[in-house]
Structure 1
Amino acid sequence: MSRFVDRVTIHIAAGDGGNGCASVHREKFKPLGGPDGGNGGRGGDVRLVVDPGVHTLLDFHHRPHATAASGKQGRGSLRNGAIGEDLVLPVPDGTVVLTESGEVLADLVGPGTTFIAAEGGRGGLGNAALASKARKAPGFALLGEPGDEQDLVLELKSVADVGLLGFPSAGKSSLISVVSAAKPKIADYPFTTLAPNLGVVTAGETVFTVADVPGLIPGASDGRGLGLDFLRHIERCAVLVHVVDCATLEPGRDPLSDIDALEEELARYTPALQGEHGDLGDRPRLVVLNKVDVPEARELAELIRPDLESRGLRVFEVSAASHEGLRELSFAMAEEVERYRASLPEPEPARVVVRPHAIGDSGFTVETDPEDDEAFVVRGEKPERWVRQTAFDNDEAVGFLADRLAKLGVEEALGKAGAEPGSQVTIGGVTFDWEPSTPAGVAAVLTGRGTDARLDASDRIGAADRKAAKKARRGNLDAEGGYAGGAEEDE
């Protein structure tokens, strides 16, 4: 039996970037022909694309984990690694992408609408791309960056113009089956409809869609019944229609109290797309008094109609069994839909929005480590990315990182913040003892491949040694003070 799933949590991971290659061109009589290591390939993205052929999120319910392909490593002879293939995940029209905290990231409406849910990591540069006048034959290459990983919540909100509201067995599914070509499951027991049904209705020259909202009962906005799972499907509806069962035999129920109970649930429900589609209380309402083919139901409909009209509601007496009043109802719904569509602003072509960085923004910050007053933490997109790309088992690669940080101004900022040679500095989760390198713009020290003379053993005392010496001095002072105090007591 097929299932309708309209809310899932997925775990996605984009592909990692491939590592660059450190290679030297070699041929007969030309053993050192220069660097020829290629770049690593970029990792694949994870994309969500609206597919008209997909109507549920059931596939994500069974397979919530998705990973894109990683880029390939670069090779010699200037051969770049292959780019990782993007992973395309088809989603139904009307899917909303949220974070686990409830922040809306994207509202996917319209066939072909695409959202990049996770970006692939950049490929590392090979030593051919890193060559310069000062470093003609680099003995290192940059590592590829890891791809984005995150958990997302997907919610399906039906793209319908008209939403039918009503208690279980009020006749919503029967109404859809006679005004459209939809064939929903119909029975005379509560909660027959376990998934929203959509139907296409044509009234004159207006074509619109109608959806029912199953399982609405008092307390639905708090999770009772099935209403909390399907209230989200009315957020996009331009018109809300109350379908009232005038032939119900349940004691203590009447059409007016049914409408009041459902209106209270709508008022207590907060739509996630409220800012874009307006509050549910502002949507136009129609009231359908259903099952008037039953004599007692017709009498009840004629009795309560004046009360409903006094509230400013348009009331229609219909019968899904005899098709009475359906034509008038269809044209009334079409009129409200056309009025809503006319009120919408004309669509504008999408524009590329460029957000430049502020003038004077260095792109990083230097802060004191909260766990150690003598240590520092550098935060910023560029420094953290450069650290991820560095192979710390290669001294030349570490020296190249030091040159980049110095050129960016990190060393100068550390000096102004009070850092001393040997202080512990953390960048992107990597902690090291800071040793000032050559000033920015000065040519690097030429040494052997894979080595850097600036990283030779230093005579400076490290931060850990200085901290231990400070504790030792404090202990000696305490001991001397205690001894002096004891001598005074003896006197």
Structure 2
Amino acid sequence: MAIPSFVDQVTLHTFGGNGGHGCASVHREKFKPLGGPDGGNGGHGGSVILRVDPDVTTLVDYHRQSYRRATSGQPGRGDHQNGSNGEDIVLGVPDGTVVSDADTGERLADLTGPGAELVVAQGGRGGLGNAALASSARKAPGFALLGEDGLERTVTLELKVVADVGLVGYPSAGKSSLIAAISAARPKIADYPFTTLIPNLGVVVAGETTFTVADVPGLIEGASEGRGLGFDFLRHVERCAALVNVVDCATFEPGRDPVTDLAVIEAELTAHGGLEDRPRLVALNKVDVPDAAELAEIARADIEAQGYRVFAISTKTGEGLRQLTYAMADLVAQRRAALPPPAPARIVLRPEPVRGGHAKPFTVTREGDLWRVRGDKPERWVRQTDFGNPEAVGYLADRFNRLGIEDRLLELGARAGDGVAIGGTADGSGAVVFDFAPQVDVGAEILSRRGEDVRLEEPQRPAVARRRELDREYHAAREAEEHESRGARGR
């Protein structure tokens, strides 16, 4: 099946890049077997960003290719070499794109205005190398932190055309002919229903006012319930500042007349909702046909009695078009004058709020036989830990202890051997579960207290002691020889 050139709703699968792992490395140099940790940090993963591009008018690119993945960060290396960051992917979208989460339906952003952007899939942070993890208590970490996975998110992109005036009406009422007559737009025009399948935009100049007009797919009875192109049509009039009801006065379909057609259109707009505050104009089209001109004059009084301004027009001869365009311009100018002035673009920094003295960055709850610990920090720390490295596990235990998790578990009555789950769901999936063992000495080897390495606290290693003893014997022998030589010269 052929892919259409205009697409206004797509499902997009986005993947942020993974963060690079940190490096666990020790500087090696001749005669310096333990030169200190020099492992670099991993690079951050790239993000997927949606940005409004004025040159993009359709979502067809994401209909063709609906999976977009940012590059991952590179791992760190020895000699303090940090990994490079992954590159962001910037996806251009049309002005007026609404972004929603495909799983929950939550609206994430309404992107309007050139340059508006949304980070839809954040890249993962890179892990720290052992050089960054070194401290006075842990001078030579034998581990590094893992990089975090990038965010995976499926979103729905929905385009709502941004126009000042929307043309609404039955199929073949002459909306496409009207926009072609008052602007430079050249939409497809034919004498059969639903000729217009995609919105068309035209720029109209009336006096000192320049505005855009949208010609959208035709409306039929039941469109608010999805009949015909109802949803596709109604989506694109939600942003219009004013609406023009284009009524066909020359239709040959039985049971139709201008007053009835207008009532059907207004009923569908009311059923859709959210359009009650839009000012309306009524254009009685095709008055170049003799019978249509008479019908327009008969219907004018009834329509004006409902409070509408009525214009009899002909897109073929140009009759009434000038008066109609100036009336549109007046409505647009009034709407623009009523809007508040746009706020100047500026960079806003929003630091995280300072937590209160008793606030905890985690929660501990009892769920059956498990103690469940939740919180951004502990769950992130678990993702960064290499559980195949005992020293890394000891470092994680240190962090939990400093955060106060062990103390909180003891306050709630946890005992040694109880199961503790970090993160995950209620059934335990996706969580890290371990036995509670407070104040357990851990490390790369059972050599020291948690967080320390006694090998670095020893005054001398055996090899160093032997080498220094040999040095002392050598220098003592040299001094003895020199002393005997001086005594012999003195005699």
Aligned partner (choices 307, 311, 314) of residue 306 of structure 2: 311
For residues 33 and 96 of structure 1, the distance between their equivalents in structure 2, rounded to whole angstroms, comes to 55
Which stretch of the first structure deviates more once superposed, 421-430 or 160-169?
421-430
* Residue pair 1:403, 1:437 contacting (<8 A) in 2 also: no
Match of 1:189 among 185, 188, 192: 192
C-alpha displacement at 1:430, in angstroms?
0.7
Distance 1:445 1:341, change over 3 A: closer
Contact 1:403-1:438 within 8 A present in 2 as well: no
Unpaired segments ≥5 residues, structure 1: 271-278, 450-491
State whether structure 2 residue 66 is matched by structure 1 residue 64: yes
Deviation digits for residues 269-309 of structure 1 (CA, Å, limit 9, x no counterpart) = 14xxxxxxxx3011000000000011111111111111111
**Whole-angstrom CA distance in 1 between matches of 2:19 and 2:334:** 51
Deviation of 1:85 (Å): 0.3
Aligned to 1:112: 115
Letter in 2 for 1:366: V
Provide the residue aligned with 2:329 in structure 1. 334
C-alpha separation in 2, matches of 1:443 and 1:117: 44
- CA separation in 2, counterparts of 1:233 and 1:56? 13
Paired letter, 1:423: D
In the TM superposition, 1:33-432 aligns within 5 A as 33-100=35-102, 101-270=104-273, 279-349=274-344, 350=346, 351-354=348-351, 356-359=353-356, 360-369=358-367, 372=368, 374-428=369-423, 429-432=431-434
Residues 395, 451 of structure 2: 8 Å contact kept:
no
More displaced 10-residue stretch of structure 1: 321-330 or 224-233: 224-233
Aligned partners of 2:342, 2:271: CA distance in 1, in Å? 32
Counterparts of 2:18 and 2:250 in 1: how far apart (Å)? 63
What is the rounded CA distance, in whole Å, between the counterparts of 1:215 and 1:225 in structure 2? 8
Worse-matched range after superposition: 216-225 or 32-41: 216-225
Q: Cα deviation per residue 1:19-56 (whole Å; 9 max; x = unaligned)? A: 00000000111121100000000000100011122111
State whether residues 286 and 314 of structure 1, in contact with CA within 8 Å, keep that contact through their aligned partners in structure 2.
yes
Alpha-carbon distance in 1 for matches of 2:7, 2:412:
54
In 1: Cα distance, 2:12 partner to 2:244 partner? 34
CA distance in structure 2 between the aligned counterparts of 1:36 and 1:127, rounded to whole angstroms: 7
Distance in 2 between the 1:108 and 1:140 partners?
44
Kindly state the Cα deviation for residue 425 of structure 1 after the two structures are TM-superposed: 0.7
Spell out structure 1 runs of 4+ moving beyond 6 A. Answer: none
- Following the alignment from structure 1 to structure 2, what is the Cα–Cα distance between the partners of residues 303 and 352? 62
CA contact (8 A) 1:421 1:434 kept: yes
Summarize deviations over 1:432-474 as a string: whole Å, max 9, x none.
11111269xx97353489xxxxxxxxxxxxxxxxxxxxxxxxx
Distance 1:43 1:333, change over 3 A: same
User: Which letter maps to 1:343?
Assistant: A
Whole-angstrom distance in 1 between the partners of 2:141 and 2:310: 81
1:134 touches 1:444 (CA, 8 Å); kept in 2? no
Give CA-to-partner distance per residue, 1:135-170, whole Å, 9 cap, x none: 000000000001111110100010100000000000
Quote how far apart the aligned CAs of 1:102 are. Answer: 3.0
**Aligned-residue CA RMSD in angstroms?**
1.6
TM-superposed deviation, 1:353: 4.0
CA 1:164–1:120: 2 relative to 1, 3 Å: same
* Number of the residue aligned with 1:444: 450
Mean alpha-carbon deviation: is it higher for 429-438 or for 121-130? Answer: 429-438
**Contact 2:52–2:114 (8 Å) recurs in 1:** yes
Q: Give the 3-state SS of the residue equivalent to 2:130 in structure 1.
A: coil
Deviations for 1:54-97, whole angstroms, at most 9, x for unmatched residues?
11111111111111000000000000001000011111111111
**Residues in 2 aligned to 1:366 and 1:255: alpha-carbon distance in whole angstroms:** 68
Counterpart residue number, 2:11:
9
Tell me the CA shift for residue 230 of structure 1: 2.4
Read off the aligned partner of 2:218 and give its amino acid letter.
G
Task: Give the residue type in structure 1 aligned to 2:437.
Answer: E
Shift of 1:357: 4.6
Task: Quote the offset at 1:5 in angstroms.
Answer: 0.7
Measure the CA separation in 2 of the matches of 1:118 and 1:132.
34
| Structure 1 residues 448 and 262: CA distance shift in structure 2, 3 A | farther
Which structure has the bigger radius of gyration?
A: 2
- Quick check: 2:217–2:232 contact (8 Å CA) kept in 1? no
SS in 2 for 1:49: strand
Indicate conservation of the 8 Å contact 2:46/2:87, yes or no: yes
In structure 1, C-alpha distance between the alignment counterparts of 2:352 and 2:296, rounded to whole Å: 59
Q: Secondary structure of 1:282's partner?
A: coil
Structure 2: 5+ residue stretches without partners: 424-430, 442-447, 456-491
- Give the superposition deviation at 1:355: 5.0
1:367 alignment partner, SS class: strand
Whether the aligned pair in 2 keeps the contact of 1:134 and 1:443 (CA below 8 Å) is no
**Cα shift readout 1:223-251 (whole Å, capped 9, x = no counterpart):** 11012122111111000110000000000
Q: Deviations over 1:91-123 (max 9, x none)?
A: 111111112233221111122221111110000
After TM superposition, the score normalised by the length of structure 2 is 0.86
Alpha-carbon distance, 1:215 to partner: 2.8
Whole-angstrom CA distance in 2 between matches of 1:363 and 1:295: 78
* SS at structure 2 position matched to 1:8: strand
Question: Shift in Å at residue 311 of structure 1?
Answer: 1.1
Which amino acid letter does the alignment assign opposite residue 342 of structure 2?
P
Match of 1:461 in 2: none
When residues 198 and 268 of structure 1 are mapped into structure 2, their CA distance, relative to the original with a 3 A threshold, is same
Distance in 1 (CA, whole Å) between partners of 2:27 and 2:271 is 71
Give me the TM-score of the superposition, normalised by structure 1: 0.86
Instruction: Please give the secondary structure, in 2, of the residue aligned with 1:43.
Output: coil
Distance 2:351 2:452 in 1: 41
